[in-house]
Amino acid sequence: MPTISDGLWAAPGRVNLIGEHTDYNEGYVLPFALPLRTYASASIVDSPQWMVSSEQQDDVVSFGPEQLTPGGVQGWAGYVAGIVWALHESGYEVPGARFALRSEVPVGSGLSSSAALECAVLTALCDLGDLDLPVPDRPKLAQRAENRYVGVPSGIMDQSASTLCREGHALFLDCRTLVTEHIPFDLAGAGLAILVVDTRAPHRHTDGEYAVRRRTCEQAAATLGVPALRDVTDLAGALKTLPDEVSRKRVRHIVTENQRVLDTVALLRDGKLAEIGPLLTASHASMRDDYEITVPEVDTAVEAALAAGAYGARMTGGGFGGCVLALIDAPAAGAVGDAVTRAFA
């Protein structure tokens, strides 16, 4: 990749082990970091201008203060402009900079390529400008950039995972309080592995369905008289109160998914890694039947992995395409991978 002399920064993509669409409902999530990263090589420039190039893109994008309004820069470079905007909005003096980007995180696969980009750029600007932004506060700023500048109504999970995850652990995040706990997740020690399958079915949040799910949840919470669906304690009563089947299905997913996260954390704390498999599979069924965010390619991959002996499998990410994860015995990785490939033949 092109190198720019002042430094090189990186942030990882993530896999969400369990807890899908619970983050913007102020619930619980359990992601872990991927070894795949987005790299930002950066150098300060003398003027308040920002220039961005990427190995994955043909164009070089430049923008100045006049574009630091939501939506002022469109496309992939908008994620960089969004970080500059969010820092400005928070009162920071952001240095002008030139960025050269390279990403190992597949774009559009539900592995948080956008959050990895945001967090790599944010870390670079904080270091280059000597900005006093504590690391625990950075996910919230990056989320604000994606929500308000780019226009994607994502929750806090992706930026938290990209910033805070530790090797060998999953990040148990309470998306209301932002309290985190690093849960041991030593797959190799247990003779296990997570197989991540990219179905190549494009994963697109900005197509609108993600935002529709979020609005439905917010409206359901208002109908139920709770701040967020995380606060629903009587699921049966809630389902009787809601006036339509779509709302009932969405609420059932969120409430049961939050419980699955808590159950998964309890098993991991006890070192029972293989026993989380049925929870992963139940999560997928809930996403398919109640949240209605899977697609045929994703369902096919899950079914093939389970038929080949996976302990559990589920779609990971916001849905409508993307990746599947399967919990397997480590020696079976090749066989399970081949079985999934054959299912698409």
Place of tokens 């990219």: 198
> Would residue 89 be called left, alpha or beta, if left means φ above 0 and alpha means ψ between -120 and 50 degrees?
alpha
The maximal CA–CA distance of the chain, rounded, in angstroms, is 62
Residue 306: give its domain's CATH number: 3.30.70.890
Active-site annotation holds for 234: no
Residues 306 and 191 in one domain: yes
Name the domain count of the chain.
2
Has residue 62 been placed in a domain?
A: yes
Q: Is residue 111 part of a domain?
A: yes
Could you tell me if 97 and 168 lie in one domain? yes
CB of 328 closer than 8 Å to CB of 336: yes
Please indicate, yes or no, whether residues 204 and 277 belong to a single structural domain of this protein: yes
pLDDT confidence of residue 202: 73
Q: Does residue 92 share a domain with residue 203? A: no
What pLDDT is attached to residue 107?
86
Residue 103 shares a structural domain with residue 247: no
Select which of 132, 137, 158, 234 is catalytic. Answer: 158
**Phi, psi of 337, deg, nearest 5:** -60, -40
- Give the residue from 102, 96, 105, 88 showing the smallest Cα distance to 43: 96
Asked if 152 and 165 sit in the same domain, the reply is: yes
**Domain check: are 264 and 197 in the same one?**
yes
Q: Does 1 map to a domain?
A: no
Is 326 within the bounds of a domain? Answer: yes
Q: Are residues 307 and 210 located together in one domain of the fold?
A: yes
134 is in which domain, residue-wise? 7-182
Q: 30 and 64 share a domain?
A: yes
- The reply to whether 288 and 333 lie within a common domain is yes
Residue 279 lies in a domain: yes
Q: Is residue 2 part of a domain?
A: no
Structural domain contains residue 92? yes
Residues 158, 190 within the same domain: no
Torsion of CA 167, 282, 174, 9, to 10 degrees: 30
Which of residues 126, 153, 182 is at a domain's end? 182
In the sheet that 192-198 helps form, which strands lie side by side, from edge to edge? 192-198, 323-329, 312-316
Residues 111, 249, single domain; the answer is no
Q: DSSP letter for 180, please.
A: E
Reading the chain (345 residues) residue by residue, the pLDDT tens digits are 444 568 999 999 999 999 999 999 999 999 999 999 999 999 999 999 999 999 999 899 999 999 999 999 999 999 999 999 999 999 999 999 999 999 999 888 889 999 999 999 999 999 999 999 999 999 999 999 999 999 998 889 999 999 999 999 999 999 999 999 999 999 999 999 999 999 988 765 545 898 899 999 999 999 999 999 999 999 999 999 999 999 999 999 999 999 999 999 999 999 999 999 999 999 999 999 999 999 999 999 999 999 999 999 999 998 998 899 999 999 999 999 999 999 998
The residue out of 131, 164, 182 marking a domain boundary is 182
Q: What is the pLDDT of residue 36?
A: 96
